[in-house]
Structure 1
Amino acid sequence: MYEPMMQNTVSMLGKLGGSTEYYVAANTLQFNDYSKYHAASFNEAGKLAHHERQFPKDKAVAFEIGVRLAKR
């Protein structure tokens, strides 16, 4: 669903003359404190567990993309 939209964005940014990369980080935290919001559709415990496990990996990938883009 998002792939065509992202490819379109990459194509448009490429026309501006720069290099573009993207990385999809999914199942991200929506709030710092879920108790402050009525958001029953989110599984707070699941999101927190995923965040603790995945966020450091996502940050590392984003950093590496930044390094590659800065070298171009």
Structure 2
Amino acid sequence: MGYLKGWKYVAFISAFVGSIGLATYPIIIRPMTHVEEYKKAQEINRASLDQSRLQSTSMNKWTDPFEKKE
């Protein structure tokens, strides 16, 4: 089995790094760049939930994860 040399090595490394980039974009990068869209989706999804019934009394109620803490 031969080693990759020259442009084949560059193409292999580029394809490897590109595939990692394509895999991480929808998981990490897009939610960070489209905060308002995800905030709105969480409001819609949590609107029908009764927090007091789902969460025990010893825990804090759900808060907005995008809210800036002071």
Q: Same fold (TM over 0.5)?
A: no
* Relative contact order, higher structure (CA 8 A, sep 6+): 1
Instruction: Tell which structure's C-alpha radius of gyration is larger.
Output: 2
- TM-score with structure 1 setting the length: 0.29
- TM-score with structure 2 setting the length: 0.30
